Structure 1
Amino acid sequence: MSLNTILTWSLVFFLFLTVSDQKPTAYDAVKSYNLPPGILPKGVVDYELNPKTGDFKVYFNGTCDFSIQSYQLKYKSTISGVISAGQVKNLKGVSVKVLFFWVNIVEVSLDGGDLDFSVGIASASFPAVDFEESPQCGCGFDCNGLLFSS
């Protein structure tokens, strides 16, 4: 094998490794659609995204529960939907407790500076800037003083 052949194959292998390492994080992917990364809690282990259709799946190690203000939220171990600029539709796997019932959040949309979470017949709005950081399972955004093992 000649030196040129070895160098060519080395370059191809290096480019393959470089390109394969270029997959953005799920949080960066969300930001690329003009949504704050905090709509996903910490702990994403992988995701799939079809950039042509916006279909996505996000995978966690398990379910994730936490509270934001007076709302209790639950993420299943896999969530899915369709993402586009400033919006997630057909969301599956995320629910909110309303009174005594868990209802599915079906849409998240950016409306000016607010992030609207819709359950179909009702929605709640929060300042989008509050979701620049991702909530943590168990304690949400209010984790001060709590110790967790990794």
Structure 2
Amino acid sequence: MKANLSINGNEYSIDAPEEIPLLWAIRDIVGLTGTKFGCGVAQCGACSILVDGMLVKSCSMPISFGFGKEIFTIEGTSENLEFLRKAWNEGNVPQCGYCQSGQLMAATALLDQISNPTDQDIEDAMSSNICRCGTYVRIKKAIHEAVALKNN
């Protein structure tokens, strides 16, 4: 099946089965490999992306879910994501780094909805993303730092 996907403001013509997971269309067909495969059952968050501003686990969504919608991945740019990237780097957030693209997408979705989140807002928003290295304290601190950077 041929269709178009809008990813990070660019249009991509895709020829793939309708039921292929959106993750594999993004990674294998389009070639944007920042979004990671973790568990394949929407439990870990490594494959998190934004679809029309909503946080989505792309491993469990068929490619057809993205038709006619704006898809945003870690390769994209937005004001909140740029502040988060800076805070992530300054705070040495990643340890192994595998989950970080999903973590950054979840944090972007959070800051897109709540400009100055509380600790509880952060914990709630980030709870669907697993970090096997346990960098949760650094993640929370970096989100607060991104807010501070944005407000300065």
Please give the TM-score of this superposition, normalised by the length of structure 1.
0.27
Greater strand fraction, Structure 1 or Structure 2: 1
Please give the TM-score of this superposition, normalised by the length of structure 2.
0.26
Larger Rg: 1
